[in-house]
Amino acid sequence: MWIYAGEDLSDWFIAEYWKVCKYKLDMWKSCIRFKKMDDIPFDLIWELVTKMSVKDWVELYENRYLRKK
């Protein structure tokens, strides 16, 4: 999940999450967990998904992980 690829995106999401949600953030590995459907901040999730294109993710992945091998 690209949210962990860069601290800036992760920091942004965590800060924005607290502005729209009242429950503790349950996020680990590639999951963001919600106990109830009504608690899901769909607009925030949409904004997160649109912050990085597939092309950007592939480039980041190749630069960061494939060159280490």
pLDDT digit string, tens, across residues 12-39? 999 999 999 989 999 887 788 999 999 9
What average pLDDT score do residues 4-12 get?
A: 80
Ranges of beta strands (E only) in 1-69 are 26-28, 31-33
Q: Is the pLDDT of residue 54 over 60?
A: yes
Give the burial string for 8-35 (b: 16+ CB within 10 Å, else e).
ebbeebeeebeeeeeeeeebeeeebeee
Confidence of residue 69 (pLDDT cuts 50, 70, 90): low
